[in-house]
Amino acid sequence: MKLGMFGLPQSGKTTLFNALTRGTQPIGTVTGRIEIHDATVDVPDERVDVLTEMFNPKKKIYAKVSYADIAGLDSGVGKSGISGELLNKLTQMDGFIHVVRAFENELVPHPAGSIDPERDILTMENEFILNDLISIEKKLERLDEEKRKGGGRDKSMIDREIQLFERLKACLVEEKPLRTLTLNADEEKTISGFGLLSRKPVLILLNLDETQPVPEIKPMFENTQIESIRGKIEMELAQLSEEDAQMFMDEYGITELGLNRVIHLSYSLLQLISFFTTGEDECRAWTVKQNATAPEAAGVIHTDLQKGFIRAEVVSYQDLIELGNMNEVKAKGKLRLEGKEYQVKDGDILNIRFNISK
């Protein structure tokens, strides 16, 4: 899972990137260049800690999430289309975090001259919409030419694609991102190679100062979440020791680190869940999409497990904690054998039975 972080200049994007990743990227500098900084962090999950204490493995491994701090994606970049390294990076993202400035600071002027989160949200939405519109129009031109020339694919197939891309274009012309459309599996497959930016889910983070109230701003489009965060405080917390950070949090009434909250929001945005494996060597959390089947989860661990999948031994985390150990789980009939159609649940503990000769 990888989320790209972007925002207008002086939005506090890099401050939040540093808070999330405990990084030290320079802040407050605007070079105008395309710069992308990547970082991978552990997903905090107390269930991993509990399972580690219970099974005493040699090591514990949390699930991972990656963030990319994207500089150079500013107002106006969509007029001629996003291209080159920046577009390649953007299309590789599973979703986006749009950092929107909501704090006032006379020493840090807003590039538009005033603080207006709703305006800034629409500004960047429109950049993605415009870039996608350029791509869709070029695709429609190629499809029309293919249909006129003939001699290739069946015309009915070309017509279906034209209808699909005309539908996408109509959405964009109405200044709506493509993530507002409901597409079937075949349609999703058809557009999957285009890297359409406005199709990707977005988490909007309103960057507040230390004391200001949270503004009431509702999502303007589907598949969009809006949350608030106090970026400066969060970055300061990320640089402190655990003990000092707790004292700081108590003083400001902060109940959860922004790092933890944003990761959990990221999971929700991308429809992800965690399952676990345990053993003498390691206790580990793995990430899969909601409704992933047992063989798909096995494939996340290793492709051989998916190829040779026979059954999955499944125990829910909650059952294990309530009963205290695996012996009690088995005695109470809570250890289940599930087949290829089983959809993995968040918190499942899996042991995959497989035969590599299959």
Question: What value, to the nearest 5°, has the Cα angle with vertex 95 and ends 84 and 317?
Answer: 145
Q: How many CA atoms lie within 13 A of 125 on its CB side?
A: 26
Mean pLDDT calculated for residue range 81-103: 84
Q: Is 34 exposed, middle or buried (0-12, 13-18, 19+ CB in 10 A)?
A: middle
Tokens of 72: 């150079």
Q: So what's the pLDDT on residue 239? A: 80
Mean pLDDT calculated for residue range 4-12: 89
Cα 306 from Cα 313, distance rounded (Å):
14
Domains with residue ranges and CATH for the chain = 291-354 (3.10.20.30)
Mean pLDDT calculated for residue range 326-335: 95
pLDDT by residue (tens digit) across 207-234? 998 888 888 888 888 888 899 888 888 8
Residue type, 149: K
Q: So what's the pLDDT on residue 45? A: 93
End-to-end CA distance of the chain: 30
Asked if pLDDT for residue 84 goes beyond 70, the answer is: no
Query: 3-state class of 265 per DSSP?
Result: helix
Q: So what's the pLDDT on residue 328? A: 96
The b/e string for 311-339 (b: 16+ C-beta within 10 A; e otherwise) is bbebbbbebbeebeebeebeeeebbeebe
Report the run of H or E that residue 212 belongs to, with start and end.
Answer: none
pLDDT > 90 fraction of the chain, expressed in percent and rounded? 54
> Phi, psi (5° rounding) for residue 28?
80, 5
Residue type, 94: D
pLDDT band for position 78 (cuts 50, 70, 90) = very low
Mean pLDDT calculated for residue range 172-190: 95
Asked whether 50 and 71 are in contact (CB, 8 A), the reply is: no
Cα 326 from Cα 313, distance rounded (Å):
12
pTM of structure: 0.86
Q: So what's the pLDDT on residue 55? A: 94
Cα 324 to Cα 31, 50, 332, 353: the distances in Å are 56, 11, 12, 24
Cα 159 from Cα 174, distance rounded (Å):
23
pLDDT by residue (tens digit) across 295-330? 999 999 999 999 999 999 999 999 999 999 999 999
Residues 6+ apart with CB under 8 A from 125: 177, 198, 220, 221
pLDDT by residue (tens digit) across 224-263? 889 988 888 888 888 888 888 888 888 877 777 777 888 8
**Residue whose tokens read 């059954």:** 311
